[in-house]
Copies of this chain bind each other. A is one copy, B any other.
C-alpha cells in the first residue's frame, strides 16, 4: 500500500502503540499507562502526543496515513463507539470520531480480541489460511472467528463467546450462574482457585509468593516444574481441547490459535488440549484440528489494528 499506519491497543492498565511500516512491520513502539479515571478526552490527547512522537520516526517525509485502535469489549465497530467495557469505566464514548478529529486521519475501532485475531490471521499463525479461530484466555475466555477470510460476527456481534459454553453440567458453579462453563477450568481466576484448592487438598502450603495467586502465577509455577500447577494446567488444557472440539464440529474450522499470557505455558497447556480433542468430536474432524500458540503475542492486536487502519484507506467508515 505504501502507507505508514499506527496500531493501538488500549487496555485497562496500559496503552500500547506500534508504528507500522508499508511492509507491515512494527518498527517502533510506545507504551503509556491508561489513566482511565482521566476520561476519554485525556486519553485522546495523550495518544495524539505519542503519535506525534512516532511521526518523527517515519522517514522520507511520509505521513502516518491512518490509525487503528482496539479496546476491551463491548465495542460498536460500526459506529466507532466504546460501549461500556467494565475495566475502563467509560460508557458510550464515540472514541473513533474523537480520535479521528484530533489526528486528522481515518481511524478504525475494534474489539481487542477481534483485532488480535485479524493480526494473527494476516501476519501470524493464520497466514495463508482460509479460516481460523483465535482464542483469548485471560480473566475471561473468548474467541474471534475468521471464516472464509472474514471476521464472522453473528447477529449480535457476539459470535465466539466460548467462555460460557457448558463443558460439564455437573461442574463447578460459575459466576454466570451456570455450571461447568469453559471459564471454570481455564480463566485466570479459576486457574488460581483450582491451584489453591488442590494445594489445600494435598495438604501442601502455598508457595511463598509475595502477591496474591493469579492465573499467571499458576502458569509460572507450572513452567518451573510444580506438579500441582502442572496438574491444574493439564485439566485446563483438557477443557480447552473439549471447547475446541465443539467449535470444530460446529464451524468446520481447523486452526485454533491460543493468545494471551497463558499461552506462554506452551505445550504444558496445548498438549493436553490436543489429546482431548478426539474425545469430543468425530475422529475425522479431530484429524484436521491444529491447536497452536500465538506467533505475534502482544503485536497481534497492534498489527490487526494496522490492518484495520489500512482498510479505512480503502473504504473509509461512514461518519
Please report A residues at the B interface, Cβ cutoff 8 Å: 130-131, 143, 145, 147, 152-162, 164-170, 176-178, 242, 245-247, 249-254, 279-283, 285, 288
Contact = CB atoms under 8 A, between A and B. Distances in A.
Nearest to A280: B166
Given A147-B152, A279-B178, A250 B168 contact: no
A250 B254 contact: no
A156 B252 contact: yes
Contacts of A279: 166, 169, 178
A203 B37 CA distance: 68
A159 B250 contact: yes
B165 A245 contact: yes
A155 B131 CA distance: 8
A164 B254 contact: no
B251 A250 contact: yes
11 contacts: A143-B250, A147-B152, A153-B252, A156-B288, A157-B252, A159-B250, A161-B285, A162-B250, A168-B168, A178-B280, A246-B250
A254 B154 CA distance: 9
A168 to B, nearest CB: 6
A250 B252 contact: no
A251 B165 CA distance: 12
Contacts of A167: 166, 169
Contact of A282 (B143, B147, B153, B176): B176
A215 B96 CA distance: 56
Nearest to A279: B178
Contacts of A165: 245-246, 249-250, 280-281
A256 to B, nearest CB: 13
A130 B154 CA distance: 10
Q: Which 3 A-B pairs have the closest CB atoms?
A: A154-B252, A159-B252, A166-B280
Given A154-B131, A170-B170, A161 B249 contact: yes
